[in-house]
Amino acid sequence: MKARHKRFMWIAIGLSIIAVAVTLVLRAFNSNLVFFFTPSEVAEQKAPKDRTFRLGGLVTAGSLARTSDGLTVKFDVTDIAKTIPVTYTGILPDLFKEGKGVVAQGKIGADGVFKASEVLAKHDENYMPPEAAEALKKAGHPIEGKVFAGQKPVVTQASSNAKP
């Protein structure tokens, strides 16, 4: 075999290895990619039926109910325009409350109930997930300076720098 053929063979092998590595990385990235959807988008069937995604909004006041097993919780998540029922089996975060911002990760069932595998609550009294705040703004519900049921006002940098 000529030196030129050997060099070409090593280059081809190297490119093949790189292509396989890139394919594996992209597949791993795609399988771990979790998209965020609002209750309105889920109601409009924009969310995937067979993949895990995140549902974010506010926990509807008066919707929290525990089953007899003590671990399963049912509640509704709303973006003011639409409401999606959610079930979760596990221990809820300490900051989880009705009227507060929440992001739940899971899948939508055939019955239209979101089956959460993980529930994330806001981390301090002035925080709302950015996606949930944006969804509420799009739904026509201004959040700045307003208080939802049981929630303290959201303070943004623009509002805190405003002159009286």
| pLDDT attached to residue 149 | 42
The DSSP string of 102-118 is EEEEEEE-TTS-EEEEE
Specify the pLDDT at position 142.
60
- The pLDDT confidence band at residue 25, using thresholds 50, 70 and 90, is very high
pLDDT tens string 86-145? 999 999 888 888 888 899 999 998 898 999 999 988 655 555 667 767 777 777 666 555
What local confidence, expressed as pLDDT, does residue 160 receive? 47
Query: Mean pLDDT, to the nearest integer, of 7-16?
Result: 94
Mean pLDDT, residues 26-51 taken together: 85
Q: What angle do CA 139, 141, 146 make, to 5 degrees?
A: 155
**The pLDDT of residue 121:** 83
With beta carbons less than 8 A apart as the criterion, state whether 153 and 103 touch: no
Residue 58 burial by Cβ neighbours in a 10 Å radius (0-12, 13-18, 19+): buried
Amino acid at 111: D
